Amino acid sequence: MSAQPRAGEPRQFRARVEYDGTDFHGFQVQAAERTVQGEIERAVEAITGAKTRVVGAGRTDSGVHASGQVVSFAAVWRHGLPDLHRALNAVLAADLSILEMDLAPEGFHPRFSATRRAYRYTILNRPWRSPLERRTAWQIAQRLDLDR
8-29 CB burial, b ≥16 within 10 A, e <16: eeebbbbbbbebbbeebbbbbb
Neighbours of 86 (CB within 10 A): 13
3-state secondary structure of 54: coil
Maximum Cα interatomic distance, the chain, rounded to a whole number of Å: 64
> 139, 127 in Cβ contact below 8 A?
no
List active site positions: 61
